[in-house]
């Protein structure tokens, strides 16, 4: 990939209906100036000097070490979101595993780098580009979870959920395409990078802050992993260390943690002189 040094790599899989939808929306709206065959069933579409789409036939969550194949300052994975509730929506989150379970890709107890500012900007653009025709859709966050494992490049997953009907929705694809391109071509860097601790998988306590506050929230560690007997200090601090922007204060979902979990978390953060903000 010596001839390409993009800042943003948008990663799409032909196995993923929503991923194809978003990718096609980007190409239809913004076109491409060059098409490069990388490998069997892998293609790069050059949108601009700073933006490319990397298309693969591999499952995204299992494509470890993609940063060894293509250069980029940031990876944005275009993906489907699947849930039993099948609530229509847009979802955004960092990636990594807080446990030994790697059934959904990645490495045991390892997080990928992420950018709190990138997540914040994309989240805000999705909100501003939201169309009333999708009135039953939600715009949500998720805690850090699943693969792939990418060693050095900061990553974020941007998803359409939560069933095939939504994955194929052309308006949803257009909204995400516009939101992603607008956010990366004119990124607001004035926000305060932070991470979140506590609460359930869909991080309800952090959504309004991501939308309305000065804080840019990157990694979120849910309460069900903040158990002193099961994790160590290193893993507890990884959300901070795996954020590319300097993090000096963190947000804590106070009611989303049990007393023992709060005490353990506060003890570790105080020892590291990290400011805590109760929400």
- Of the candidates 212, 208, 267, which has an alpha carbon nearest to the alpha carbon of residue 236? 267
CA 36-73-196 angle, to 5 degrees, is 135
Secondary structure letter of residue 33 according to DSSP = S
Which segments of 105-228 does DSSP mark as H helices, in order? 116-129, 164-167, 170-185, 204-212
Query: Can you tell me the distance from the alpha carbon of 73 to that of 219, in angstroms, rounded to the nearest whole number?
Result: 18
Domains of the chain, residue spans? 8-185, 192-278
Indicate the helix (H) or strand (E) that contains 229: none
List the chain pLDDT tens, one digit each, 279 residues: 446 889 999 999 999 999 999 999 999 999 999 999 998 899 999 999 999 999 999 999 999 999 999 999 999 999 999 987 889 999 999 999 999 999 999 999 999 999 999 999 999 999 999 999 998 999 999 999 999 999 999 999 999 999 999 999 999 999 999 999 999 999 999 999 999 999 999 999 999 999 999 999 999 999 999 988 888 999 999 999 999 999 999 999 999 999 999 999 999 999 999 999 999
| CATH code at 192-278 | 3.40.50.10700
For residue 233, what pLDDT is reported?
93
pLDDT of residue 261: 92
> How far is 32 from 182, CA to CA, in rounded Å?
16
Cβ-count burial 37-48 (b if 16+ within 10 Å, e if not) = eeeeebbbbbbe
* C-alpha to C-alpha distance for 154 and 173, rounded to whole angstroms: 23
Q: What tokens does 45 get?
A: 């579409």
Least Cα distance to 183 among 127, 238, 131 occurs for 127
* Cα separation, 199 vs 205, whole angstroms: 7
Structure tokens at 105: 């890709």
The backbone region for 23, taken as left when phi is positive above 0, alpha when psi lies in -120 to 50, beta otherwise, is alpha
| Residue 9 contacts residue 70 (beta carbons within 8 Å) | yes
Q: Provide the pLDDT for residue 1.
A: 44
| Torsion from C-alpha of 187, 189, 191, 195, nearest 10 degrees | 90
Cα distance between residue 154 and residue 114, in whole Å: 4
**192-278: same fold as 8-185?**
no
Domain at 8-185: CATH architecture: 3-Layer(aba) Sandwich (3.40)
Which pLDDT score, from 0 to 100, does residue 2 have? Answer: 44
């Amino acid at each position: 990939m010596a001839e390409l040094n993009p800042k943003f790599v948008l990663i799409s899989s032909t196995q993923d209906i929503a991923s194809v939808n978003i990718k096609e929306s980007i190409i239809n709206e913004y076109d491409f100036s060059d098409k490069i065959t990388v490998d069997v069933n892998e293609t790069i579409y050059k949108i601009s000097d700073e933006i490319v789409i990397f298309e693969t036939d591999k499952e995204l969550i299992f494509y470890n070490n993609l940063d060894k194949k293509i250069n980029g300052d940031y990876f944005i994975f275009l993906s489907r979101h699947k849930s039993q509730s099948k609530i229509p929506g847009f979802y955004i989150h960092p990636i990594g595993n807080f446990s030994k379970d790697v059934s959904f890709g990645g490495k045991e107890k390892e997080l990928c780098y992420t950018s709190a500012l990138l997540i914040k900007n994309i989240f805000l653009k999705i909100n501003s580009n939201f169309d009333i025709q999708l009135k039953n859709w939600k715009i949500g966050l998720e805690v850090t979870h699943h693969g792939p494992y990418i060693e050095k490049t900061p990553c974020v997953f941007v998803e359409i959920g939560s069933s095939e009907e939504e994955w194929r929705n052309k308006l949803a694809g257009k909204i995400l395409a516009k939101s992603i391109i607008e956010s990366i071509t004119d990124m607001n860097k004035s926000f305060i990078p932070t991470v979140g601790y506590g609460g359930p998988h869909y991080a309800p306590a952090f959504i309004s802050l991501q939308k309305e506050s000065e804080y840019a929230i990157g990694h979120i560690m849910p309460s069900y992993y903040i158990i002193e007997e099961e994790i160590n200090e290193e893993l507890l601090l990884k959300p901070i260390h795996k954020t590319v922007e300097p993090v000096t204060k963190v947000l804590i979902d106070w009611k989303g943690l049990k007393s023992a979990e709060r005490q353990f978390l506060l003890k570790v953060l105080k020892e590291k002189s990290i400011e805590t903000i109760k929400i």
